[in-house]
Structure 1
Amino acid sequence: MPSPRLSVVVTRRLPEPVETRMKELFDVRLRDPDTRMSREELAEAMQSADVLVPTITDQIDAALIGQAGDRLRLIANYGSGVDHIDVATARSRGILVSNTPGVVTEDTADMVMALIMAVTRRIPEGIASMAGGNWDGWSPMAFLGSRLAGKRLGILGMGRIGQAVARRAKVFGCQVHYHNRRRVRPEIEEELEATWWESLDQMLARMDIVSINCPHTPSTFHLLNARRLKLMKPSAVVVNASRGEVIDENALTRALRAGEIAGAGLDVYERGNQINPRLREVPNVVLLPHMGSATIEGRIEMGEKVLINIKTFADGHRPPDQVVPGML
């Protein structure tokens, strides 16, 4: 007699091919309409399912994990970052956690470059002028931005995404610099023509563009704080498509309003979708709705990784993308 299919609850809508395959393989409860689950709905799902498939919009903290039923054995996160999941508490309850690493590297690096171009070349201002019917013709002094070639780009976090950004920036003629917890291998530095800075403070003071590409951990929370923002050149810009908590958003807003830095491009925010209203009012900032990984190809690949993690677990093996506290 075949074993019963795993009960799986998915907290948000996923691409149609992924949902179809979920229905073929598991006893799955899909989310319709595509709205964020309440805390009560998450608790109910964790009490009734074998596997929960959450996203970054779901806060799976210790208290919620404490309410999980005996059936829950895997939290198969749809996404790479797991700072919204208390992995240590899950592990203590015998609940495995998996993620989808490596999928969004190229997509996010593309968005970093898009943000850099948008801020330095004032692209949103040009779009707004055309959309509003305010453009009355070319002028030598209109919409003046900055050339990328020759600029110093400082990458904060030289992991997969940081390196992908460096490859793109090198093609644009930027000088690549980076600060990382550990220096990357010499052959990577040589390929990227990248200069390592042991001191983040010293790097920030010399860069024209700073790209945040590190995860959110206790050690990176507000890594770019008011003191470090003051080290940057008044002509410098900062972009962030990584984690909003790495930048002190209030300090960034003050620096932008005071003209202490020239601009910012943000795809992530310190408090999720609760954006500082004063930040919205600053003219020299480009704000995007966390769309750095939003490609059809990437979303389907993420779903395929979730499927593999659950199927491998169902077959009695360790999910290939299992996350353990020591990795964080």
Structure 2
Amino acid sequence: MSKPKVYITRKIDAKYLEPYQDQLEVRMWEKEEEPVPKETLYQEVAEADALFSVLSDAIDEDLLAKAPHLKVVANMAVGYDNIDLEACKQHDVVATNTPDVLSETTADLGFSLLMAAARRITEAADWVKQDKWQSWAPFFFAGSDIYGKTLGIVGMGRIGEGIAKRATGFDMNIQYHNRSRKKDAEERLQATYVSLDELLETSDFVVTVVPHTEETDKMFNQAAFEKMKSSAVFVNISRGKVVDEEALVHALQAGEIQAAGLDVFEEEPIEADHPLVGLKNAVCLPHIGSASVETRTKMIQLCMDNIAAVVSGKEAITPVS
């Protein structure tokens, strides 16, 4: 009896797939960073029982219509806005994601961005690399203190709580806005629930960890940035489309806010000539929130475990549809 066929859209070291070789027949795109061409993907899914996708793969009606045997799409991400869930339901395809395993790692990255933007770390490092460090002055690359400041978290899920936990070590005043209050988090983290407007107006640091939905699309727009302190630092580790990037560029250039730390963008990858990349007060990263060896290994394992479960007739471990 033939084994279920799995197609993986990015190259993964064979050592991570060895535990599944007796159960699954695996094919994959052999380039780690370059996306699989759409024509190749369509050819592969035509015979696949399972698809291992990444967040830049569009799982839509066009793809699903070409995959008559497909039973499961395992998305290597927490977010799944690249997946048309309604189309999956119509084609009886289970979609899964990788929650929980990356929360702490992404929180690490979020707080790192906060610190890098506030203390002008990447700007100062570039100064040294460019051999510009010739002297010292009282306000030479002076940034902003973090300790004791007010942190506003928009979206108090697992990652948001992770950011708050790290902020307690800096004795920060923690406030948050969420669709609903989380009184347990308030007690554990000494966080205060506030309206979005109050959060924007009173926070020294604003970190967004919201999913991209119709409700959150471009929620950080010109009006939002105008409400922030001119000394505020804005950090986005959620999805690029929750930010109006043109408004953010203007806010940074006009001094409406002090700095920004960004791991996600409206269109990815962004080009080197993107306006945000050229700003000294913007720290721009290539969507590496969960990029630790330990966490990426767990994400791969969870994707493969989801696939193995569904193709064997069991329930998915972390389904989103």
Fold shared, TM-score > 0.5 on shorter chain: yes
The reply on whether 1:151 has 2:149 as its aligned counterpart is yes
Counterpart of 1:76? 74
Q: Which region of structure 1 is more displaced relative to structure 2, 210-219 or 137-146?
A: 137-146
Identity %: 38
Distance 1:203 1:310 in 2: 41
Structure 1 position 201, deviation (Å): 1.6
Distance 1:219 1:272 in 2: 21
Distance 2:74 2:111 in 1: 30
Contact 1:19–1:30 (CA under 8 A) maintained in structure 2: no
Q: Which amino acid aligns with 1:294?
A: A
Contact 2:149–2:173 (CA under 8 A) maintained in structure 1: yes
Counterpart of 1:59? 58
Contact 1:15–1:300 (CA under 8 A) maintained in structure 2: no
Counterpart of 2:49? 50
Q: Which amino acid aligns with 1:116?
A: L
The reply on whether 1:233 has 2:229 as its aligned counterpart is yes
Counterpart of 1:315? 312
Q: Secondary structure at the match of 1:322?
A: coil
The reply on whether 1:284 has 2:281 as its aligned counterpart is yes
Q: Which region of structure 1 is more displaced relative to structure 2, 157-166 or 57-66?
A: 57-66
1:131 pairs with one of 126, 129, 132: 129
Contact 1:47–1:67 (CA under 8 A) maintained in structure 2: yes
The reply on whether 1:304 has 2:301 as its aligned counterpart is yes
Distance 1:20 1:134 in 2: 50
1:243 pairs with one of 239, 242, 249: 239
Structure 1 position 226, deviation (Å): 1.1
Label 1:103 to 1:155 Cα distance change in 2 as closer, same or farther (>3 A).
same
Please list the CA deviations of residues 85-143 of structure 1 after superposition, one character each: whole Å capped at 9, or x if unmatched: 10111111111111111111011100111101111111112211211222124432211
Contact 1:74–1:96 (CA under 8 A) maintained in structure 2: yes
Q: Which region of structure 1 is more displaced relative to structure 2, 99-108 or 276-285?
A: 276-285
Superposed CA RMSD: 1.4
Q: Secondary structure at the match of 2:219?
A: coil
Contact 2:54–2:76 (CA under 8 A) maintained in structure 1: yes
Q: Which amino acid aligns with 1:320?
A: I
Q: Which amino acid aligns with 1:228?
A: A
Q: Which amino acid aligns with 2:242?
A: V
Q: Which amino acid aligns with 2:245?
A: E
Q: Structure 2: where are the runs of 5+ without partners? A: none
Label 1:253 to 1:22 Cα distance change in 2 as closer, same or farther (>3 A).
farther
Counterpart of 1:224? 220
Q: Which region of structure 1 is more displaced relative to structure 2, 131-140 or 72-81?
A: 131-140
Q: Which amino acid aligns with 1:135?
A: W
Aligned pairs (5 A) from 1:103-182: 103-182=101-180
Q: Structure 1: where are the runs of 5+ without partners? A: none
Q: Which region of structure 1 is more displaced relative to structure 2, 273-282 or 104-113?
A: 273-282
Q: Secondary structure at the match of 1:5?
A: coil
TM (norm. structure 1) is 0.93
Contact 1:206–1:233 (CA under 8 A) maintained in structure 2: yes
Structure 1 position 274, deviation (Å): 2.9
Structure 1 position 188, deviation (Å): 1.8
Distance 1:74 1:183 in 2: 34
Counterpart of 1:202? 198
Contact 2:96–2:320 (CA under 8 A) maintained in structure 1: yes
TM (norm. structure 2) is 0.95
Contact 1:148–1:173 (CA under 8 A) maintained in structure 2: no
Counterpart of 1:27? 25
Contact 1:61–1:85 (CA under 8 A) maintained in structure 2: yes
Structure 1 position 33, deviation (Å): 2.3
Distance 1:195 1:162 in 2: 13
Q: Secondary structure at the match of 1:37?
A: coil
The count of residues paired between Structure 1 and Structure 2 equals: 319
